[in-house]
Structure 1
Amino acid sequence: MKIFKFIIALVLFFNFAYANVKLDAKSFFIKGEAYTFSIIATGKDITFPKIENINKESVDTISTQNSISIINSKVEKKIIKRFRFFPNKEFILPSFEFEIDGKKYKTKSLEVKSRKIEKSDFKFADFEISSSKSSVYVAQEFKLKVKFKYKEDLNVQDLNISNANFKDFWYKQTDNSKHYKEGGFVVNELEFLLFAQKSGKLRIEPFKITMQLLDINSSNFFMNNNYITKQIYSNDLEIDVKPLPQGINLMGDFDIETFLDKTQINQGDAVSYKIKVSGYGNIDDINDYTLDIKDAQIFENKADISTEIKDDKLYGTYEKSFSIIPKNSIKLKSLELKYFDAKTKQIVRKKTDSYEINVKKTKEKKSELITPKKENVIVKEVVKTSIKDRIVFFILGFILALLIVYLYKYAITKRLKKQKESTLLVKIKTSKTSDELIKVLAFMIKKDESLDELIFKLQKIEDNEEFKILKKDIYSLVKQIEKGKK
């Protein structure tokens, strides 16, 4: 409160300096970046115009600063407003009209042209990008180093890197970041692995770093610090990218191998077949492997691709597994991997082993229908004694006959129910392992999608509890299928 009264006293004591308005703006812009300009108005009573659109582009007010200074016994009130927008083409910054202390003031209009980004030339800082190769093949890796340095005595408050445009390149940052001091400068380095995605003359656009510096010489009356923002651009790079030979999309050094868990099986059993490709290069671009085998049911997992930086190069693996249930003996053909070796500049072909799977056929047991045996009915001759006895014996005989018929039908129904709990359901119940259950269900593959999914899950089950739960689900589903409810 005391400070506020002191300011009012100063304002009443001193005369105000002359009114003025000034535009601080560049005569060029860089496409894709914000164009900023400032307007500085000085006077006692200042009215700013509304600046909302320029050249049909929306304008934002990004900051407003108010200050009071005393020069030669005169008080100077100053308002600085900064504006920003994103132009797409060349434009004219119009004249803006202000009212200061009851008078009209105008800024000058300014023609603003588009300019290509050029490397910044400052004594206090330098920004440079460099590549390990200037000519590469499509998908051939090379290193890009980003190096930024600034004077050690600068009071840097913030650093922000932007414009890292890797258009037409796949990239991955390495762990080779560095931070050190050299020759009075603070040096920061970053490293990237790059892979060109297409052939031709490809350009890596300049990077930009925004520095925020503390301006210790411009503290105002209230002891608030001001900041200076500097934008520093690196150079650009042009990479000559040559195409790979036709039909080749891998570049580097790779190996391929396959694994088969068994070659002798019984009919209905499954085998596990795995493919693994590993090595240095652009493994993400590998063509997916599939199997087309006649007389076999094939289940496949989605391929798993992983990459990492190893020995300062991109190392990766491709893994895919299959479950195969052959109906007859089959042969798994050799698989081929093709890639281009940059060192020898030759196409390299590598093949896997082929496999023969022998299937031992099992004899099918014919199910026997259980038919009820005919029972000999013993008829006893009853000596009739009287009409009353005849009636009693007749009623008893009728009841006994009904009871025999009921028991006979009950026995037949029970046997038929047991018969309906088919041999298949019994085999499912008595299966001890997933392989044994797959063998039992092999002939039902492709009869029901839900059952196929459960059979496929059997290939990956290792825990006994999971097997019991899945077997119960399969039993219920097969029972529904047999009843015609599914």
Structure 2
Amino acid sequence: MKNNLGKRSLHLFFFLLSFLTLQAEDFTYTFKVDKPTPYVKEPILLTLDLNQTNHDIVLLFNFNIHQSEDYTFQRLDIQKTENYHDAKIHYVYLIYPLRSGDINITFDLIKKVTTDESLAYSFSGDRDNVKKLVTTDTQINLPPLQLRVKPLPEGTVLVGDFALTYDIKKHQANAYEPLPFQVSIKGKGYPPLVETLLPKEGNFTRFTEKPIVNSVATRGGTQNTVTYPMALSHSQSFTLSPIVLKAFDPKTAKSYTLEIPSQHFDIEKVDTQRLVDTVDAPDTVKEDWSWLNTLLGYVIAFFAGYITALSWKWSKKKRQKEDHPLIQKIRDCKDEKALLQVLIAADHTGFTSSIEKLEASLYGNGKINLNKVKQEAEENI
């Protein structure tokens, strides 16, 4: 009976933790978390609402989640009102716990109080001489958000709902000829990155490159496509052992495996007789300067190819940048608020400066030139 009461109390505690509204001086704040008892690397949606209660002052906020080795996080959205006497801010974060046990997510919140006069004064300068907004800043000690994180089954490599595909161009080759091998893992969950997919056993040569990662964070988790380009080679026929990745789906609380069956490769050996020189002695040495013309031809061809490659790379990079979907989205923005939403949704570290300028313009720190901010954002893509 006591054990049942203890479990009920624990469940009640975490239910209350998932929806917590508290009162601070001049405002209230509400935390919501959709999974207070997640598995390791299971996505958690955290929201924070700040609502001004003292309408006699102008209230601004600076909020951040502290960095930690126990979790990763990403801001998905921020919504703010433009009424300085009735501030309302809604934050949305996606969090992944990285270890089991009790984890405390900690925060940094600064309350900034100012007046209408100070606000008007800060806007009185021209675009090149914006006057600094004077505020009274107060550090707010928010209680940490505690998660009780459940461990994963032993041997789990991937967390989420994934599917694996692979492509092997050919199974026959000459000795030491590379055999291209590509693996793609797609699905929703914690980004499916592993140190290596190839088994350690086997004396064949391995060629690997950095995986190509395409991950998009959403309220439902992270949608991923990760491609592993590789190649194998050997001097003789060989067999690649099966590749088995153990995965776990937190939604169903079930384990499953992603597998690549054993692969056999037929290698044509080099005829050693072809490598033996059948001539006993070289011809009489004669002075021959034809090698110089050949060498000069190689040098000229090398530099011509190098310059052509540089030109092609530059033009390709330029075309890729012009074709980037964000370019048109940025150019289509008619005002600061629309541009701010586009840059936040893109979640690109290069947009930090542009986002700060837009927030300063919208919420009290100065005026900006919208076209210049657009240009800066495009250059950082």
- Where relative contact order (Cα < 8 A, 6+ residues apart) is larger, the structure is 2
CA distance in 1, matches of 2:148, 2:172: 54
- What is the CA deviation profile of residues 52-72 of structure 1, one whole-angstrom value per residue up to 9, with x for unaligned ones? xxxxxxxxxxxxxxxxxxxxx
CA distance in 1, matches of 2:220, 2:252: 21
CA distance in 2, matches of 1:205, 1:311: 21
- When the two structures are superposed, what TM-score results if normalisation uses the length of structure 2? 0.57
1:210 and 2:111 aligned: yes
How many Å apart are 1:346 and its aligned residue?
1.6
How many Å apart are 1:369 and its aligned residue?
0.9
Q: For the Cα contact (< 8 Å) 2:113–2:135, is it kept in 1?
A: yes
CA distance in 2, matches of 1:129, 1:343: 23
For residue 190 of structure 2, what is the aligned residue in structure 1?
282
1:191 and 2:92 aligned: yes
For residue 237 of structure 2, what is the aligned residue in structure 1?
329
Task: Name the aligned partner's letter for residue 358 of structure 1.
Answer: D
Give the total of aligned pairs.
260
SS of the residue aligned with 1:338?
Answer: strand
- What is the CA deviation profile of residues 11-64 of structure 1, one whole-angstrom value per residue up to 9, with x for unaligned ones? xxxxxxxxxxxxxxxxxxxxxxxxxxxxxxxxxxxxxxxxxxxxxxxxxxxxxx
Q: For the Cα contact (< 8 Å) 2:185–2:192, is it kept in 1?
A: no
How many Å apart are 1:318 and its aligned residue?
3.3
Task: Assess, with a 3 A threshold, how the Cα gap between structure 1 residues 153 and 332 changes in structure 2: closer, same or farther.
Answer: same
CA distance in 2, matches of 1:199, 1:294: 35
For residue 21 of structure 1, what is the aligned residue in structure 2?
none
For residue 264 of structure 2, what is the aligned residue in structure 1?
356
- Aligned partner (choices 24, 31, 50) of residue 121 of structure 1: 24
1:369 and 2:279 aligned: yes
Task: Assess, with a 3 A threshold, how the Cα gap between structure 1 residues 246 and 299 changes in structure 2: closer, same or farther.
Answer: same
How many Å apart are 1:333 and its aligned residue?
2.6
SS of the residue aligned with 2:284?
Answer: helix
Q: For the Cα contact (< 8 Å) 1:258–1:353, is it kept in 2?
A: no
SS of the residue aligned with 2:155?
Answer: coil
CA distance in 1, matches of 2:203, 2:149: 46
Q: For the Cα contact (< 8 Å) 1:120–1:234, is it kept in 2?
A: no
Task: Assess, with a 3 A threshold, how the Cα gap between structure 1 residues 326 and 187 changes in structure 2: closer, same or farther.
Answer: same
How many Å apart are 1:143 and its aligned residue?
0.6
Q: For the Cα contact (< 8 Å) 1:295–1:328, is it kept in 2?
A: no
SS of the residue aligned with 2:87?
Answer: strand
- What is the CA deviation profile of residues 334-389 of structure 1, one whole-angstrom value per residue up to 9, with x for unaligned ones? 211111111221211121243222223353424221558xxxxxxxxxxxxxxxxx
Q: For the Cα contact (< 8 Å) 1:120–1:232, is it kept in 2?
A: no
CA distance in 2, matches of 1:167, 1:332: 36
CA distance in 2, matches of 1:198, 1:285: 17
For residue 223 of structure 2, what is the aligned residue in structure 1?
315
SS of the residue aligned with 1:135?
Answer: coil
1:412 and 2:288 aligned: no
How many Å apart are 1:206 and its aligned residue?
5.1
CA distance in 2, matches of 1:214, 1:181: 15
Question: Which protein has the bigger strand share?
Answer: 1
Task: Assess, with a 3 A threshold, how the Cα gap between structure 1 residues 241 and 157 changes in structure 2: closer, same or farther.
Answer: closer
SS of the residue aligned with 2:61?
Answer: strand
Task: Assess, with a 3 A threshold, how the Cα gap between structure 1 residues 293 and 178 changes in structure 2: closer, same or farther.
Answer: same
SS of the residue aligned with 2:38?
Answer: strand
- What is the CA deviation profile of residues 176-222 of structure 1, one whole-angstrom value per residue up to 9, with x for unaligned ones? 3223489x9432111111111222222233542322221869xxxxx
CA distance in 1, matches of 2:175, 2:87: 72
How many Å apart are 1:142 and its aligned residue?
0.7
Task: Assess, with a 3 A threshold, how the Cα gap between structure 1 residues 163 and 343 changes in structure 2: closer, same or farther.
Answer: closer
For residue 338 of structure 1, what is the aligned residue in structure 2?
246
For residue 201 of structure 1, what is the aligned residue in structure 2?
102
Question: Which protein has the bigger helix share?
Answer: 2
CA distance in 1, matches of 2:65, 2:166: 44
How many Å apart are 1:120 and its aligned residue?
4.0
For residue 130 of structure 1, what is the aligned residue in structure 2?
32
Q: For the Cα contact (< 8 Å) 2:199–2:243, is it kept in 1?
A: no
Q: For the Cα contact (< 8 Å) 1:210–1:232, is it kept in 2?
A: yes
SS of the residue aligned with 2:277?
Answer: coil
SS of the residue aligned with 1:331?
Answer: strand
CA distance in 2, matches of 1:128, 1:329: 64
Q: For the Cα contact (< 8 Å) 1:250–1:339, is it kept in 2?
A: yes
CA distance in 2, matches of 1:201, 1:211: 32
Task: Name the aligned partner's letter for residue 334 of structure 1.
Answer: P
Task: Name the aligned partner's letter for residue 280 of structure 1.
Answer: K
For residue 246 of structure 1, what is the aligned residue in structure 2?
154
SS of the residue aligned with 1:320?
Answer: strand
Gap runs ≥5 in structure 1 = 1-117, 218-224, 373-410, 422-428, 430-463, 470-486
Task: Name the aligned partner's letter for residue 338 of structure 1.
Answer: K
Q: For the Cα contact (< 8 Å) 1:252–1:279, is it kept in 2?
A: yes
How many Å apart are 1:312 and its aligned residue?
3.7
Q: For the Cα contact (< 8 Å) 1:128–1:234, is it kept in 2?
A: no
CA distance in 1, matches of 2:63, 2:281: 87
- What is the CA deviation profile of residues 377-419 of structure 1, one whole-angstrom value per residue up to 9, with x for unaligned ones? xxxxxxxxxxxxxxxxxxxxxxxxxxxxxxxxxx62249x9xx
Task: Assess, with a 3 A threshold, how the Cα gap between structure 1 residues 268 and 303 changes in structure 2: closer, same or farther.
Answer: same
SS of the residue aligned with 2:210?
Answer: coil
* Alignment map for 1:232-243 (pairs within 5 Å): 232-243=140-151
For residue 15 of structure 1, what is the aligned residue in structure 2?
none
Task: Assess, with a 3 A threshold, how the Cα gap between structure 1 residues 196 and 232 changes in structure 2: closer, same or farther.
Answer: same
Rg (Cα) greater in structure: 1
Q: For the Cα contact (< 8 Å) 1:119–1:234, is it kept in 2?
A: no
